[in-house]
Structure 1
Amino acid sequence: MQQRESVDSTAVIPQEAFDWYDEYAHGLIDRREFLNRLAGLAVLGLSVPLITAALSPNYAQAEQVSFNDPDILAIYQTFPSPDGHGEGRGYLVQPAKLEASAPVVLVVHENRGLNPYIKDVARRVAKAGFIAFAPDALYPLGGYPGNDDQGRAMQKNLDRAKIEADFIAAASFLKSHEQSNGKLGAVGFCFGGYVVNMLAAKMPEQLDAGVPFYGTPAAEQLRANVKGPLQLHFASLDKRVNATWPDYEAQLKANAADFQAHIYEGVNHGFHNDSTGRYAEAEAELAWQRTIAFFQEKLG
């Protein structure tokens, strides 16, 4: 099932700048090329510092649930990852008044480590009544460095297969948590969306609900394993990721998988991230409401 929605918004930054930022953020062009392209927009009266400030994260804007919110308890927790980097570490957040078991949700970051936005997403998940766990792929290198550009470079230098093994180990660790009800969900963004799709392909019997936001599918040879349930979110202006969707959708249909896909009109890759100029509040809120409702339905 696929639905399209449109929510009115006013764009100030030209679409080319968003497209170039996406290329830069995913390693298709380097920072010099990105800035050179932005300089060409000066004729429109937009300075490079103005555009880069709007596109770069301001994490002070991204806190929707405070780390000391009385409704949650947050700690850092290590877990074994024998097929990955040996040991992983993540941000574990659970409802403060949890008296019995609860569903668990893995929260997977973008391609730059466990930044403040993703930690806030984990707190939002816990605020909704789930036990949330957000691993940091950069833990073997000391963890998220406090800077997205540096974090992106660090993650790029790690062994991709070991990173994936770490997230598989984290999912297994979380599903067997002493207060887990045995139902595992996963939500991820960008690279994290890919990880959710990968988990759906590599551990279909263990993943009870997956929500990839603008994520590419798992390797083609694995896609026949995907059963769902999946709820997929896409941005209509995200050409790079959307180009992978038709083949993936066809495979999901061939699998008779349980899935639903939502494409949000007029928004960019990263529209859920409320720390940058790509954020689209109405669409992000709608997608998040759907995400929580989906987890409530599938995980109990």
Structure 2
Amino acid sequence: MTTNTEIATLDGNAMIPAYVARPEGTPRGAIIVQQEVFGVDAGIRKKADDWAAKGYLAVAPDSFWRQKPGIELSPYIEAEMQQALDHMMAHDFDLGIRDIEAVIHWIRREESVAKVGFVGFCMGGKVAYMAAARTDIDASVGYYGVMIDQMLGEKHAISRPLMLHIPTADHFVDAAAQKAMHEGLDDHPRVTLHDYEGLDHGFAAEIGARRDEAGAALADERTEAFFAKNIG
């Protein structure tokens, strides 16, 4: 099952499908796991399950539920990759960040977990930056986030810790975009950037040939320490 929970939107007029993984005992905090363009697929569900195994309540909302809920697409099938990109292009990111706010509220009010972190991948990496700038999330992490260089005008609003993992050979985020990110964020007191030399987009994917084991292990180790410090 792709999702197992529904969370009310901010206006209460609709329900956001989500996959929720619960830890044994009282959660040490919560982590919102934000999908790539491929949906809440097996890889995203594994990431949520892994956070639950570490003691966190993990919530992976379906970003594309307004377009087509429950999609699971493959980056290795050309037609499905194109569908995924089309969904991203049609996605309303401003409305999507309101959905993230709704998830934050649900975690704090309905689940009684005060500290909430956010980790996003690809498109979700962009949302991690937006969450840091536009919500009261306690800490955010973005893996190979796209289009962050186009949102540097919002950096003044980042008041909680944000970590970004940047593969230097990312074919979706070119050298000029990476340079802009460093120039705009290196001196920000709340932002930490990590470069991964020679790695490409998707290097921390849980399934498939995109994964680089050493790079993923290093980035995940940094992320786990970051959340342990800022979430609990």
Q: Shorter-normalised TM-score: what interval? A: 0.7 to 0.9
1:164 equivalent to 2:65? Answer: no
- Determine the C-alpha separation between the residues in 2 that align with 1:276 and 1:235: 17
**SS at the partner of 1:227?**
coil
Identity %: 29
Spell out the pairing of 1:158-197 with structure 2 (5 A cutoff): 158-180=91-113, 182-197=114-129
Spell out the pairing of 1:1-300 with structure 2 (5 A cutoff): 76-82=4-10, 86-95=14-23, 97-98=24-25, 100-148=26-74, 149=80, 150-180=83-113, 182-203=114-135, 206-216=136-146, 217=148, 219-238=151-170, 240-241=172-173, 242-252=175-185, 256-300=188-232
- Determine the C-alpha separation between the residues in 2 that align with 1:246 and 1:175: 37
Distance change (3 Å), C-alpha of 1:234 and 1:86: same
- Determine the C-alpha separation between the residues in 2 that align with 1:139 and 1:194: 18
Which deviations, in whole Å up to 9, do the C-alpha atoms of 1:167-221 show, x marking residues without a partner?
23223322334241x1110000000000010000101xx2111110011427343
Which deviations, in whole Å up to 9, do the C-alpha atoms of 1:82-132 show, x marking residues without a partner?
46983211011111x21x343011000012321111111111111111110
Distance change (3 Å), C-alpha of 1:177 and 1:102: farther
- Determine the C-alpha separation between the residues in 2 that align with 1:259 and 1:185: 15
**SS at the partner of 1:144?**
coil
- Determine the C-alpha separation between the residues in 2 that align with 1:283 and 1:275: 14
Distance change (3 Å), C-alpha of 1:140 and 1:237: same
Which deviations, in whole Å up to 9, do the C-alpha atoms of 1:57-78 show, x marking residues without a partner?
xxxxxxxxxx9xxxxxx97221
> Any unmatched runs of 5+ in structure 2?
75-79
Distance change (3 Å), C-alpha of 1:230 and 1:158: closer
Residue 240 of structure 1: CA displacement? 4.0
- Determine the C-alpha separation between the residues in 1 that align with 2:110 and 2:46: 21
Which deviations, in whole Å up to 9, do the C-alpha atoms of 1:253-282 show, x marking residues without a partner?
56x432222111121111001323221001
- Determine the C-alpha separation between the residues in 1 that align with 2:134 and 2:178: 19
| Greater relative CO (CA pairs within 8 A, separation 6+) | 1
Distance change (3 Å), C-alpha of 1:247 and 1:146: closer
> Any unmatched runs of 5+ in structure 1?
1-66, 68-73
Q: Which has the larger radius of gyration?
A: 1
Kept after mapping to 1: 8 A contact 2:32/2:116: yes
Distance change (3 Å), C-alpha of 1:280 and 1:85: farther
- Determine the C-alpha separation between the residues in 2 that align with 1:92 and 1:190: 21
Q: Give RMSD over aligned pairs.
A: 2.6
